[in-house]
Structure formats: C-alpha cells, structure tokens
Chain A
Amino acid sequence: MQKKQSVNRRQFLRMGSAVGATAFLAACAAPAAPAADSGGDGEAMAETVSLRYQSREPERAAGIAELWKEFYPQFQEANPNVEVEFLPDPGGANRREGALSAMVAGNAPDLTEWCCSSSTFFMQKGETLSLQPYIDRDAEEVNLADYYEAQFDPWTLDGDIHLMPRFTGTQVIYFNKDMFDEKGIEYPSQEWGAWNWEDYTNLLRQFADADAQPQLWGTSNYGLNANWLSQYWIRGFGANMVNPEDNTHCGLDSPEAYDALEWMRSIIHDEPLFAYGADIGMGVVELFLGQRVALMEIGPWNLGVQADGATFRWDVAPMPDGPAGPTTHQSVDGTMVWDGTAYPDESWELMKWLTSPLYGRLYITWAQKQPSRKSLLPEYASIMRAANEKFEDINLDVFTDSVGQDIGGPEEMFAEDLVCKNQILTPAFDQVMLLGEKPVDLIVDHADVATRFNRGEINIEDLGAELDKLS
C-alpha cells in the first residue's frame, strides 16, 4: 500500500517562500525586448503605431473625456494605423515633476498638454520637438494666421515653434450685476478700450468697505504676485516683467513698471480696494460667489464654475486699459510633442487634429472653454449657449473680441524662469503686495538680482545672501 503524503504547513511555507523569491527575482529582471520598432521607414508606417496623449484639463476633465469619445473615432477612421491612448488629467499640483521623471526614464507620453510656465520650461530644457519643419510643410493646414499675434511667443526657440495651442483664455472682469444695481451704478462698458485703470479704481471705491463686518473689497484675482497676474497690469502701464527683447533682463526696473507696481500696491494697502492673498486664504472665486467683492479678474475657464455657483446675476466686461493702452492676459496652454518620441510623424498628425477646427468646436462644447483659432471665435458664444442656457445673458464676445483685436499677451518667461519668479521675485512681492511692509523699491531691487542671476552673475547658492542684502 502506497503511503499517502500531504504537504504540511511548514513545507507549504518553504515552497511559498521559494516561489515568492523566484517571482520577485523574475519581476526584477530586465523586461523582454520590445517588438521591432515600427517608427521611421515607409514599410513600418503601415504597421499600427501606439501613441500616448496626456491631457491637461483640471476644471473640465469629465467634459474632455466625453470630447475624446466623440473625437477619437473620427481621428482613427482617418488614421487607421495610429492608436492613441488618452491619458486624462491626473490632477494635483505636481504634474511637472511627474513628467520630468517620465522624460528622464525615457517613458514620457508622445504628446503632453501644458499650462503656464511648464510649457516654456520643457522647451528650454530641450524636451520638446521642434514643430517648425512640420508647420512649414503643412502651412496651409496649420494656418498660423488663424492665431492671435503673440500666441507663439513663449513657445518659440531660435525662431522655431515648439508647441501648438488648444486654448486661449482671456483675462476679463466678472461683475456682480445685483451689487451694481443695488448701488445704482452703471455696468462697465462691453467694449475693449472704453474704460481705463482710473475708472476701474473709482468703481472699486464704491464697493469697498474696510469697516464692514465681514470686510468688503472691490475686486481680486488669484494674487498680484511675480507671475502673469501682475504682468498684464505692468504691460498696461507700458512695461514688461521680462524684457521681450532679452529674456535675461527683468524689466521691473523701468519707471513705467514702477508706476504699475505702485498702483497695485496702493489698491491693496492704501484704501484697500483689492483683496490680496485670496489665493492663500479664501479663493478669489469664493470671494466673488460670496459677494465679498463686486468684481474679479479671471478668465473663461471659470465660466462653468460661475454659472453653477452664482446665486446672483452676473456678466463679464473687458479689462480696463492701462495708461499705455488695452491690456489683458491670454493664457499659454499648449501641446508639445516629446523630443524622445519614437513616432514624430504620427505625433504631428495627431497634433494637427488636436488643433483643428473640428477639435476646437468639440472643445467649446465639451470643455466650455475658449478655443485658440480666430476662425472659431464667432462660433464660441453660440456653441456655449447651446451647451448651457445659463450663458444666454452673458456677453461672451468680450473674451473673443480681445483675441480678434490682438489685445494682451501670454505669460512672460525668463531664461531662468522658475528661480527668478519663485525664489527671487516672490519674496519681494510678498513683502510689498501681500504684507504691505515694504515699498515698491524692494521689487525693483530684486529685479536687479533676477537679471544678474539670469545672466549667470550670481550662483544659486549665493542667491539668499544677495537677497538678504536688500532686506
């Protein structure tokens, strides 16, 4: 009779340990070699190519997912050999770090959308593919004339364009009609160039009440700090934070910039009319929705939030002119092709589709945001109103008129943009604008340090000591 043998607990544990260790080592082993690369030659073009496309749409991620469902089948029908994996916005504030890691690891998405300084940052770091040869080749289809004049300024390196826009967000004034009516004050003009910063200041005075509990201000934005939020006012006064001719020079040392900064400081601290620091306390949108400010400076990305959250009647108006003329911010959201992509041709094909009028229309519908192509601007208001009846009484042409008239510009970027803005200028703006403890001269002094840092005259580790001298 054969002896029956069962595995006891100890033996099971031994086997389990051995299998676990083997599996771990197998997992640590180098991955199998990928299938033959299909990029490049003509024969390979017939094979299916897989692209990854990283979307950025924090406010309207769900809408973009719906957009993709409608857009992608049309793209694939025209490009049966290109498969695209859509990567939704992951959220969070640290996308740049994640993208950097993926680039260093050689695993970045083929196309990535960026906002603000990140787009220029990756171009300056050589991670973006120059699109200029493709743009030149497909000039008619791309039609650069269909974008506003300064659109490509932050994305141009040595004359070559590196990113293409999908969204142009114009900074405007939102105002609370009920609060205006209550005080019997006339609404701001709906035409660009029809009012100026002095009219604006006088208007704010009529709403601000420092003694009220809780306090009321006239207006606010995310915070007048060392970024685009103060840049549009500085441009309105005839200066630039970053010299357009020389991105190593901080232009805050000019008399015009001084006047702009002094006006900003005064409306925050002397009266006060502008609720500063909203971004680190109560957000500007909450201030406006809570009727603590009668006006706010913000872009079209807020339209959906505003329509959903407002319990009062509201509308939008153009930004007031500065002493030097009309001014506003036009956002810098664009899409890059990663320089390390194995499929630059296919990526460019997808890029063309993502910046096409077809996509632009879908973008208005699903994301309820302002497209970049001028040719789509006349359709913007009607598509928005069809998508959401709450926009029926809102003068959406205010946004698009500025683009049509080439008013305003995108965020200005230094050669060493992140250090200059975050480490050198922000502490000065904090002391002058947020805390009201120092005069505008401090910002001018910091501007000089920014210029010298950009030009390599100050090392990163000596920055603190340089700034200490100014305190």
Chain B
Amino acid sequence: MASITESQAQRGLFSWLRRDGKPLRPSTREAWYGYLLASPWIIGFIVFTVGPMLASLIIGLYRTDFLTETTFVGLRWYQNTLSDSLVRKALINTAIFSFTVVPINTVLALLIAVMLNQGIRLQSFWRTVYYLPSVVSGVAVSLLWKWLYQPDIGLLNSILGPLLRPFDIDPPRWIFSTEWALPSLIIMAFWGAGGAMLIYLAGLRGIPTSLYEAAEIDGATSFRRFFAVTLPLLTPTIFFNVVLNIIGSWQVFTQAMVMTRGGPNNATLTMVLHIYNTGFQNFYFGYASAQAWFLFIIVLGFVVLALRSASSWVHYERV
C-alpha cells in the first residue's frame, strides 16, 4: 500500500475534485469534510425517511395490499380521507389529546424544573425520579397504566373507590368507558413530563446569574424575577419543547395500541393508530399512505404556525 506523501496530505482528500490538482480553498475543503462526516446521517435520512415518504406518496395513488392487487385509483384516497368519518373521529381524538397534553405538559415540566432548580436537598435524586418514566419503554409504561386503570382491582380505583362510594359516586371505569378512555390516556401522558423537565433544567442553568443579581439589586421579587428574567430567557427552550411536543402528541400511538386498541367504540382511536389499522390490519396500504400524508400536512401546519409565532414570543439572548 502506498504511503501518504506530505504533498498529498497538504492537498487534502478532495484535491481530485480540481482538474488542475491544486489544493482546494480551505473553506471549500472544510465544507466537503463536513458533508463527508455528515454523510452517514444524510444517506440514512434519504434512504430511510425521504425515500419511504416519496414511495408512500406514490403508493397513495393505488389500491394495494402488496399481495393480490395493485390498482391505480388516482387521487381517490387523498380526496376521500377528509370525508371518512373514522378519519375525522381519529383526528378529533388526536387533536383533543394534543391540545390538552402540549400546554399542560409544558407548564408541568417547567414547574418541576423550576422547583428542582431551587437548590433543594437530594436534587439529583428528584431529578432522576422525575426523569425515570421518560426512559422506560412506552409499552412497559402502557402495561403498567393499564393495570392502574383496571376498574375493579386497579390501584387508582382502590384509592378512589372508598373515597367516593360513601357519597354514592362510583369511581370512573377509565379505559373501559367511552367518556373516560381518552382522558385516561391524557392523564397518563403527564407522567412523561420528566423528559421536557430535563431540557428546561438545562435551559435554567444557562441563564446568567448576573441577570438575577441585577434584578435583585433593582428590588425585584422572586415572582417578578421569574417573569422578567427566567421566563423570557427560557423561551427558546420552551419553544423547542413545544415543537417537539406538538409533533409527538400528534403521533400518539403506543398507549392507544397497547391499552385499548382504539376502543371502546373508537373512543381512543388516534390518527396514527387508524393509519396502522388501515395499513397493517385491514391491508389498504394506499389509503393508509394517503392518511399518513394528511397527518403529515397537519403536523407540518402546526409546526410552521409555531415557527411563525416564534418571533413574537421567543427571545434569543444577543451575544
């Protein structure tokens, strides 16, 4: 194997890109190295994300189960998605879930983070406790909550039952009831606030103490300091968490799949679960693809809305 000569090393790996063999400009060479080092992710993104997305766009033009038939149906699935009342039901369920979980989770995670940032005792322990649910697999969490929600022997009703029955009130039947099934999934989602909490904690640590000192000299109360210093400087972190939460909440699937399979009577049918059912239970892959694109556009719309609104409420510290 030929050894690398000094001149080759100086010219760099990409010198072959120039016909005259002269070294590339440092900035160009830097860019090429950047692309090369990022290439595993770029290739993965193209092959495993962009490729399937484009494929699904085309599959959405066909009636196909991939086995017996592939019939071109044009835009039929795309046109009919909105008029499908089951899709609408799934959309409404998902929207209720998202519009409830995103704001409450944001506030809850922020509150926990602020509390844990007060220099309390056993801070690391509490941080771990709150973060722990976020590292447990969604399926395991769902199975645990399924047990907690069991109306007859579950932990929740074992506590609520003795408290409510003296007043002739039966405790909720949770996932066994059309009224309570979706709220049950929403309540369960708050358990995952620890993930956002950790990001808020990092954001809180990044706020310069000099600002608090200045505010304190000016006589600001702790309440005022929170709203005048903490909250504005935390808005980039809040924005990041809100965007992630919007995307995640519209993709809610595991809980509904594991705990209720969308029931009872479609009370917890979420959009991704419906797409999964259409594709992998009923084997209408074209229709499932069209529904997936529909969901993608909705999520994209909310994310764009969040991005557009960012300029009015997200404050970036100028360095």
Residues on A lying within 8 angstroms of B by beta carbon are 5, 7-8, 10-11, 14-15, 17-18, 20-21, 24, 94, 96-97, 100, 103-104, 125-127, 214-215, 277, 280-282, 292, 418-419, 422-423, 426-427, 430-431, 434-435, 437, 459-465, 467-468
Contacts and interface: CB of A to CB of B under 8 A. Distances in A.
A461 B83 contact: yes
Contact of B176 (A5, A7, A126, A280): A280
Contacts of A437: 178
Nearest to B12: A14
Nearest to B150: A281
B146 A125 contact: no
Contacts of B319: none
A292 B80 CA distance: 48
Interface in B137-156: 146, 149-154
A97 B87 CA distance: 22
Contacts of B277: 422-423
B260 A435 contact: no
Contacts of B176: 277, 280-281, 434-435
Interface stretch (B60-68, B98-106, B202-210, B296-304): B60-68
A281 B151 contact: yes
Nearest to A281: B150
Interface string B44-78: 00000000000000000000011110000000010
Interface string B144-178: 00100111111000000000000000000001111
A419 B146 contact: no
A423 B151 CA distance: 25
Interface residues of B, number: 52
Contacts of A5: 3-4, 6
Q: Which 3 A-B pairs have the closest CB atoms?
A: A464-B86, A464-B85, A461-B80
B266 interface: yes
Given A127-B67, A427-B266, A280 B284 contact: no
Nearest to A104: B66
A11 B86 CA distance: 59
Nearest to A460: B284
Contacts of A11: 4, 9
Nearest to B259: A280
B259 A464 contact: no
Interface of B: 3-4, 6, 9, 12-13, 33, 36-37, 39-40, 43, 65-68, 77, 80-81, 83-89, 146, 149-154, 175-178, 259-261, 263-266, 277-278, 280-284, 287
A465 B80 CA distance: 12
A158 to B, nearest CB: 15
A461 B283 contact: no
**Most chain A beta-carbon contacts within 10 A, residue among B4, B83, B151:** B4
6 contacts: A24-B43, A97-B280, A281-B154, A418-B282, A418-B283, A464-B89
A5 B9 CA distance: 12
B50 to A, nearest CB: 16
Given A214-B153, A280-B263, 10 more contacts: A7-B4, A97-B280, A100-B66, A125-B68, A127-B67, A280-B176, A281-B176, A422-B282, A430-B263, A468-B85
A14 B9 CA distance: 9
Nearest to A10: B9
Contacts of A463: 84, 86
B67 A126 contact: yes
